[in-house]
């Protein structure tokens, strides 16, 4: 008998590496028992990451979802694991310490056994509280080494990082190869190096298959002492997801490892149900490009877990860019051309930004900066002419120290804007907020929920939770779903044989040549965009005053957190003053006034979707 090795199914990550949404709770319950019946999994990743925010977005209570989804695995003795982002908890920006502490308590009560904690900068001081709070809550604290590939991120760096995590209280180590760009031999050396000092520490390998290394990396990790290998399943394995269960299982068996057999009848049931969920509505949010492996990603190193959102962002940016290009008499570009431009820009600016590991949220920051640079330079502006506040926070040390230095251009920009580098503990920048959200919930007569789980949800995801409670989230989701169905239907119709434009007909012996037009037919147009002169303005225009417009599309907010005071009609503002925010591509972008004056109209409410160049304020 060979060495025992175990497998973990990353069912949550399978979905979020492919698209935007995860299955509804009724669908998750439907697939839980067949996963158990497969008989080959020691662990299943059930929640964490963006799971709960996504539940809120389509109008589902995530606390009910997590409790019901983890219960069957708890009953079957299969460990459940979640992903959490250290300082950021289970959202994209930092979380107060009291909210982080409550999260671990709640998640354990809801049935989650293991907390896989990672810090986007591999900053040990940000994870120390995660390990402490996980233990307090009764969870197993697993520390993830966020793998990236650069001159600074080498084998010895990761072995030393694991030592620091273990000293701070981590009980397990995950080799988190989120982009799948870790070279197999190096991954083997990292595992062996950790095991040499800590032979009894459990090591779990998690590798995305995007550029094609993950099968070899799984084998090298196993041969050098890894205890558990994360796998995906068809129809969501490979591509930007994870290596497939069947491939990894057979490879390890052939190499002499001992692991449970797969109940293939149950496997086919899980496979069939997953496809059923895709056909139901989830496929509307899966970009087909994410189903392919792409070795071009070896260069930029962007992670598979963000490719679903990346392709959605790319689609929006492409539309916006082509609208501008068309308006200025320039040739449109394709999605493929924009993607290659993005990869090239990421490779260029990543070292300039200090080599942050390309993992959530910092992979988003680098990608967003690259996309914004491309957009601004296409429009004749300078590189770095628009950089969001989240990214500036990272560059200025508010998430911890970057491994590499930032470029002098960015240093000079920071100095010109009066930004100062922060050297303290990042957590200290975010004071406790639970009492604030308790008060808000009491004012709204909202229940705190079992084990304070609703309080946690509100404090962790304030705008999303409010939209969920009001029903607006569900309404917006259903509208978006219907729009996507119509778009898909229109696309399928356009693939049919073209309808005739001209025909010859005979009426009462007379022959006629007839030209035919169809409703909503735009095939004769140069492109699908409606010209600006026929678009209705979103703001009134009585000839008095001027406008402050949105620099990009996204979700509009007058403030970015509860500590800020929103501008209002009658306020005097100064040129350069931050007056509002747009949430786009998972980060908050400040809107600054390009003129001074008095606000006489505000055209949007917080939470509204806005387009690039929409009028936001009118000033005199």
What are the structural domain ranges in the chain? Answer: 6-291, 295-429, 539-619
Domains 6-291 and 539-619 alike in fold = no
In the block, residue with structure tokens 């031999």: 185
* Banded pLDDT at 312 (limits 50, 70, 90): low
**Strand-pair category, 6-9 with 43-48:** parallel
Report the distance separating Cα 303 and Cα 144, nearest Å.
15
CA angle 339, 302, 13 (to 5 degrees): 110
Q: Which residue in 430, 426, 431 sits closest to 125, CA to CA?
A: 426
Q: Is the pLDDT of residue 313 over 80?
A: no
Report the distance separating Cα 133 and Cα 136, nearest Å.
5
Strand partners, 597: 573
Report the distance separating Cα 594 and Cα 551, nearest Å.
11
The CATH fold of domain 295-429: Cyclin A; domain 1 (1.10.472)
Report the distance separating Cα 243 and Cα 218, nearest Å.
9
CB 179 within 8 A of CB 358: yes
Q: Is the pLDDT of residue 530 over 70?
A: no
Q: How far is CA 144 from the centre of its chain?
A: 18
Q: Is the pLDDT of residue 36 over 60?
A: yes
Torsions phi, psi for 602 (to 5 deg): -125, 120
Report the distance separating Cα 71 and Cα 81, nearest Å.
13
What does the block give as tokens for 512?
Answer: 């006629």
Q: Is the pLDDT of residue 233 over 90?
A: yes
Q: Is the pLDDT of residue 528 over 70?
A: no
In terms of pTM, does the model score above 0.85?
A: no
Mean pLDDT, rounded, for 328-346:
87
* Banded pLDDT at 516 (limits 50, 70, 90): low
539-619: which CATH architecture?
Beta Barrel (2.40)
Report the distance separating Cα 484 and Cα 24, nearest Å.
18
Report the distance separating Cα 63 and Cα 61, nearest Å.
6
Report how many helices (DSSP H) and strands (DSSP E) the chain contains, helices first. Answer: 20, 18
Average pLDDT, the chain: 88
6-291: which CATH architecture?
Alpha-Beta Barrel (3.20)
Q: Is the pLDDT of residue 539 over 50?
A: no
Torsions phi, psi for 536 (to 5 deg): -75, 135
What does the block give as tokens for 603?
Answer: 């055209």
In the block, residue with structure tokens 């107060």: 96
**Strand-pair category, 502-507 with 510-515:** antiparallel
What does the block give as tokens for 482?
Answer: 């219907």
In the block, residue with structure tokens 């509804």: 24
How many residues are recorded in the chain? Answer: 620
Report the distance separating Cα 460 and Cα 105, nearest Å.
14
Q: How far is CA 352 from the centre of its chain?
A: 23
Strand partners, 591: 580
Report the distance separating Cα 450 and Cα 63, nearest Å.
9
Instruction: Return the minimum-mean-pLDDT range out of 83-87, 302-306, 442-446.
Output: 302-306
| Helices (H), ranges, 17-61 | 25-37, 51-57
Neighbours of 414 (CB within 10 A): 17
pLDDT-above-90 percentage for the chain: 60
Report the distance separating Cα 237 and Cα 222, nearest Å.
20
Neighbours of 586 (CB within 10 A): 22
Q: Which residue in 152, 227, 160 sits closest to 193, CA to CA?
A: 160
Report the distance separating Cα 458 and Cα 468, nearest Å.
10
Instruction: Return the minimum-mean-pLDDT range out of 175-184, 317-326, 386-395, 433-442.
Output: 317-326
Whole-Å CA distances, 582 to 114, 380, 462, 550: 35, 22, 16, 8
pLDDT at residue 225, rounded to an integer? 97
Residue 176 CB burial class (10 angstroms; 0-12, 13-18, ≥19): buried
Neighbours of 131 (CB within 10 A): 24
Q: Is the pLDDT of residue 386 over 60?
A: yes
CB 411 within 8 A of CB 611: no
Ramachandran sector of residue 447 (left: φ over 0; alpha: ψ -120 to 50; beta: rest): beta
Report the distance separating Cα 219 and Cα 248, nearest Å.
8
Q: Write the CB contacts of 351 (distance below 8 Å, at least 6 apart in sequence).
A: 150, 404, 407
What does the block give as tokens for 456?
Answer: 């946690």
* Banded pLDDT at 494 (limits 50, 70, 90): low
Mean pLDDT, rounded, for 51-74:
95
Q: What is the per-residue pLDDT across 238-281, written as a single tens digit (0 to 9) for each? A: 988 999 999 999 999 999 999 999 999 999 999 999 999 999 99
What does the block give as tokens for 106?
Answer: 């709640």
Three-class secondary structure of residue 346 per DSSP: helix
Report the distance separating Cα 603 and Cα 311, nearest Å.
30
* Banded pLDDT at 357 (limits 50, 70, 90): confident
**Strand-pair category, 114-117 with 79-84:** parallel
């Amino acid at each position: 008998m060979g060495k025992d090795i175990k497998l973990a199914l990353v069912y949550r990550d399978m979905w979020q590496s492919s698209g935007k949404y995860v299955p509804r709770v009724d669908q998750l319950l439907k697939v839980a028992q067949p996963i158990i019946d497969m008989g080959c999994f020691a662990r299943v990743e059930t929640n964490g990451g963006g799971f709960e925010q996504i539940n809120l977005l389509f109008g589902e209570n995530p606390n009910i979802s997590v409790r019901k989804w983890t219960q069957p695995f708890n009953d079957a003795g299969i460990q459940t694991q979640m992903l959490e982002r250290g300082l950021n908890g289970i959202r994209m920006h930092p979380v107060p310490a009291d909210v982080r502490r409550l999260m671990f308590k709640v998640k354990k009560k809801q049935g989650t056994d293991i907390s896989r904690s990672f810090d986007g900068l591999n900053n040990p001081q940000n994870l120390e509280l995660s390990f402490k709070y996980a233990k307090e809550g009764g969870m197993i604290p697993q520390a993830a080494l966020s793998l990236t590939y650069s001159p600074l991120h080498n084998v010895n760096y990761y072995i030393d990082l694991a030592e620091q995590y273990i000293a701070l209280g981590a009980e397990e180590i995950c080799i988190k190869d989120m982009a799948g760009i870790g070279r197999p031999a190096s991954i083997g050396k990292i595992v062996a190096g950790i095991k040499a000092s800590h032979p009894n520490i459990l090591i779990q390998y998690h590798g995305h298959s995007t550029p094609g290394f993950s099968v070899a990396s799984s084998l090298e990790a196993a041969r050098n002492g890894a205890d558990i290998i994360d796998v995906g399943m068809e129809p969501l394995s490979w591509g930007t997801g994870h290596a497939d269960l069947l491939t990894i299982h057979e490879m390890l068996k052939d190499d002499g490892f001992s692991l449970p057999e797969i109940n293939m009848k149950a496997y086919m049931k899980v496979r069939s149900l997953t496809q059923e969920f895709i056909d139901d509505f989830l496929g509307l949010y899966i970009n087909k490009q994410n189903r392919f492996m792409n070795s071009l990603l070896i260069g930029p190193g962007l992670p598979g877990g963000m490719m679903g959102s990346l392709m959605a962002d790319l689609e929006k940016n492409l539309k916006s860019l082509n609208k501008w290009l068309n308006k200025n008499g320039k040739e449109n570009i394709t999605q493929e051309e924009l993607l290659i431009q993005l990869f090239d820009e990421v490779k260029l600016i990543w070292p300039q930004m200090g080599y942050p590991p390309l993992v959530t949220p910092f992979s988003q920051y680098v990608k967003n900066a690259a996309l914004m640079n491309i957009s601004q330079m296409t429009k004749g502006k300078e590189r770095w002419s628009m950089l969001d506040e989240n990214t500036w926070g990272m560059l200025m040390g508010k998430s911890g120290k970057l491994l590499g230095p930032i470029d002098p251009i960015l240093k000079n920009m920071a100095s010109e804007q009066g930004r100062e580098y922060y050297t303290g503990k990042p957590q200290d920048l975010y004071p406790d907020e639970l009492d604030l959200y308790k008060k808000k919930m009491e004012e709204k007569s909202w229940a705190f929920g079992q084990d304070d789980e609703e309080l946690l949800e509100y404090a962790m995801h304030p705008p999303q939770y409010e939209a969920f409670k009001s029903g607006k989230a569900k309404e917006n989701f259903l509208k978006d779903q219907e729009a996507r169905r119509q778009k898909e239907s229109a696309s399928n119709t356009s693939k049919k044989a073209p309808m005739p434009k001209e025909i010859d007909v005979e009426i009462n012996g007379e022959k006629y040549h007839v030209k035919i037009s169809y409703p909503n037919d735009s095939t004769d147009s140069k492109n699908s965009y409606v010209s600006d002169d026929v678009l209705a303005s979103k703001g009134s225009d009585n000839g008095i005053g001027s406008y402050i417009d949105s620099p990009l599309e996204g979700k509009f907010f007058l403030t970015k957190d509860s500590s800020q005071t929103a501008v209002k009609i009658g306020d005097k503002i100064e040129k350069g003053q931050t007056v509002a925010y747009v949430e786009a591509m998972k980060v908050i972008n400040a809107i600054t006034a390009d003129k001074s004056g008095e606000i006489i109209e505000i055209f949007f409410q917080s939470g509204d979707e806005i387009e690039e160049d929409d009028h936001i304020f009118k000033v005199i």
